[in-house]
């Protein structure tokens, strides 16, 4: 006969075992339901996937082309408008506008249809291109470039978001590689296409070229339906959506970006670097950037990424920029082509790895926002570095030309541009001017070396992540730990 204490202990054990069994059944049921939801996610295959890939690749190509096509058209544009003082705006305002709007684009894709949001941004991009092509003043051209840049921010985020929702995780790197590889051809071919159009047709067709291609994109886009990453709220009111967007962050980041760019644009040109105007712009931008980062620190979670390829890109980039800094007027064509190939490898790897990391480490519900943050850094960095390099080159030329070619007016060389100074320099002075140019251009590559080293140092904070295909059970556990059981299909449907 058992004692009362033994009976109580036995009863307690029975209750504990029962609770444990119920918990296991509950967990099993949750996982089964989660997996069923994951299996229900719609992926795209066959001809539809080919069309979607063609659309986003063509759009990405146009965006990259639009960033570089004006390079060889700028001399003709400045001659047409007699606006040498606006030269920096033509190339930089596009990526600057794109970066300024990035904090909002990710949220927009979170709440509205990916297909129609992407289409809307593309229409705006086409309008901006048409304004540029029809520009009758320099200001009108800059406004058109600004509109196109604002739309480009949504198109870049949208292209990445759409591909992420159309195929599983294990297929995304390959498709991203196709999109970005072909898209990068726009950067390489932009100066060639721009030069050919400017010489044989008109500089206006550097912008009009987007319109007929846009018609093809629109036609293809209407032919397919694009699955959503997560369920979008139906009938969402504008006021409700706006309350979910980081409008405060946008209101801080946009003016900070503009002030910083204006300081770089006007410094050494309209105003001295030590003038109160330039110092005030730098100080204002610095304060607002600090406020922005503090604000965003409260808004987003810290994310972990994997490391090796990014560090390799930073290393190759620093070596490539170091080699480019040795260029001079006597450097052989094979050498500078080889140096550029090395830099191209670093650029392609360094640009792609963060994108792949985001796609493989985040729930689908967060990818749009994360992509927009990433594109902010990439686009804003491009805009800022263009302006910084222009300022470095101009400043270095003012110092180097008097040293290597004392009889030449430095400002005249700067105004003539890299392709026009030979026409105003005598044969005796040309070697000195070329040496001054080589020395000055090296200063811009030093900046690339420094940036690559900073990337290598800070890149260690990205973390190491294995992005190979995960078992469904692992993803379920991650989703359950993150408390997103209602949207676990988003975690699995990549």
Q: Is the pLDDT of residue 309 over 50?
A: yes
Query: What pLDDT does residue 121 have?
Result: 92
Angle between helices 138-166 and 46-68 in degrees, nearest 10? 150
Residue 227 and residue 42 in contact, taking contact as beta carbons nearer than 8 Å: yes
State both tokens at 311: 């560090």
Phi, psi of 267 (to 5 degrees): -65, 130
How remote is the C-alpha of 93 from its chain's centroid?
Answer: 15
DSSP tally for the chain: helices H, then strands E: 19, 0
Q: Per residue in 237-271, pLDDT tens?
A: 556 666 666 677 777 777 877 777 777 767 766 67
Q: Work out the pLDDT band at 27, boundaries 50, 70, 90.
A: very low
Query: What pLDDT does residue 464 have?
Result: 63
Residue 59 and residue 159 in contact, taking contact as beta carbons nearer than 8 Å: yes
Query: What pLDDT does residue 298 have?
Result: 60
Average pLDDT of span 354-375 = 73
Strand partners, 271: 267
Q: Is the pLDDT of residue 8 over 80?
A: no
User: What is the C-alpha to C-alpha distance for residues 294 and 283, in angstroms, rounded to an integer?
Assistant: 17
Q: Strand, helix or coil at 163?
A: helix
Q: Per residue in 330-358, pLDDT tens?
A: 777 767 777 777 777 777 777 777 777 77
What angle (nearest 5°) sits at the alpha carbon of residue 391, between those of residues 385 and 397?
130
Higher pLDDT, 97 or 338: 97
Percent of the chain with pLDDT over 90: 5
Burial of 387 (0-12, 13-18, 19+ CB in 10 A): buried
User: What is the C-alpha to C-alpha distance for residues 270 and 268, in angstroms, rounded to an integer?
Assistant: 7
What average pLDDT does the chain have?
A: 74
Query: What pLDDT does residue 144 have?
Result: 92
Average pLDDT of span 100-121 = 80
Average pLDDT of span 470-476 = 47
Higher pLDDT, 165 or 420: 165
What is the end-to-end Cα distance of the chain in Å, rounded?
Answer: 61
Q: Using the structure block, give the residue that is written with the tokens 């001079």.
A: 328
Q: Work out the pLDDT band at 124, boundaries 50, 70, 90.
A: very high
Among 52-61, 77-86, 256-265, 321-330, the range with the most confident prediction by mean pLDDT is 52-61
CB atoms within 10 A of CB 82: 9
Query: What pLDDT does residue 229 have?
Result: 66
Query: What pLDDT does residue 127 have?
Result: 94
Q: Is the pLDDT of residue 192 over 70?
A: yes
Q: Per residue in 171-180, pLDDT tens?
A: 777 787 788 8
Q: Work out the pLDDT band at 130, boundaries 50, 70, 90.
A: very high
Taking Cα atoms as reference points, which of 224, 211, 227, 225 lies closest to residue 123?
211
Higher pLDDT, 234 or 6: 234
Higher pLDDT, 6 or 107: 107
Query: What pLDDT does residue 65 have?
Result: 86
From 18-27, 64-73, 280-289, 314-323, the region with the lowest mean pLDDT: 18-27
State both tokens at 158: 């949208």
Q: Work out the pLDDT band at 131, boundaries 50, 70, 90.
A: very high
Q: Work out the pLDDT band at 123, boundaries 50, 70, 90.
A: very high
Query: What pLDDT does residue 485 have?
Result: 40
Q: Work out the pLDDT band at 19, boundaries 50, 70, 90.
A: very low
Q: Work out the pLDDT band at 147, boundaries 50, 70, 90.
A: very high
């Amino acid at each position: 006969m058992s004692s009362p204490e033994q009976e109580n202990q036995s009863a307690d054990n029975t209750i504990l075992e029962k609770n444990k069994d119920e918990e296991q059944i509950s967990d099993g049921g949750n996982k089964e339901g989660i997996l069923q939801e994951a299996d229900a996610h719609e992926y795209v295959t066959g001809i539809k996937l080919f069309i979607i890939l063609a659309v986003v690749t063509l759009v990405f190509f146009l965006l990259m082309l639009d960033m570089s096509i004006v390079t060889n058209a700028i001399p003709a544009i400045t001659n047409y408008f007699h606006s040498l003082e606006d030269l920096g705006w033509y190339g930089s305002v596009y990526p600057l506008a794109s970066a300024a709007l990035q904090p909002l684009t990710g949220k927009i894709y979170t709440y509205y249809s990916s297909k129609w949001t992407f289409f809307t941004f593309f229409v705006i991009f086409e309008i901006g291109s048409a304004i540029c092509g029809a520009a009758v003043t320099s200001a009108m051209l800059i406004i058109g470039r600004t509109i196109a840049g604002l739309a480009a921010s949504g198109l870049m985020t949208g292209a990445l978001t759409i591909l992420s929702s159309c195929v599983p995780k294990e297929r995304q790197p390959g498709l991203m590689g196709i999109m970005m590889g072909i898209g990068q051809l726009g950067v390489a071919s932009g100066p060639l296409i721009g030069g050919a159009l400017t010489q044989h047709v008109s500089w206006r067709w550097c912008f009009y070229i987007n319109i007929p291609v846009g018609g093809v994109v629109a036609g293809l886009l209407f032919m397919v339906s694009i699955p959503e990453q997560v369920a979008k709220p139906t009938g969402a009111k504008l006021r409700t959506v706006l309350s979910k967007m980081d409008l405060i962050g946008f209101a801080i980041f946009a003016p900070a970006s503009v002030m910083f760019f204006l300081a770089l644009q006007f410094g050494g040109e309209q105003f001295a670097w030590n003038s109160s105007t330039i110092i005030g712009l730098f100080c204002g931008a610095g304060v607002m950037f600090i406020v922005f980062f503090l604000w965003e620190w409260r808004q987003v979670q810290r994310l972990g990424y994997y490391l090796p390829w990014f560090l390799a890109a930073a290393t190759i980039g620093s070596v490539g920029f170091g080699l480019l800094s040795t260029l001079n007027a006597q450097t052989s064509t094979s050498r500078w082509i080889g140096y550029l190939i090395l830099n191209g490898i670093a650029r392609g790897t360094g640009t792609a790895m963060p994108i792949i990391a985001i796609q493989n480490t985040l729930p689908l519900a967060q990818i749009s926002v994360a992509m927009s943050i990433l594109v902010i850094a990439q686009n804003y960095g491009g805009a800022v570095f263009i302006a910084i390099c222009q300022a470095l080159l101009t400043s270095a030329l003012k110092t180097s030309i008097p040293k290597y070619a004392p009889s030449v007016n430095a400002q005249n060389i700067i105004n003539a541009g890299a392709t026009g100074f030979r026409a105003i320099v005598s044969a005796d002075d040309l070697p000195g001017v070329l040496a001054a140019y080589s020395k000055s251009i090296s200063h811009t590559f030093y900046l690339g070396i420094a940036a690559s080293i900073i990337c290598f140092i800070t890149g260690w904070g990205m973390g190491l992540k294995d992005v190979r295909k995960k078992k469904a059970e692992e993803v379920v556990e991650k989703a359950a730990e993150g408390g997103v059981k209602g949207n676990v299909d988003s975690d699995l449907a990549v």
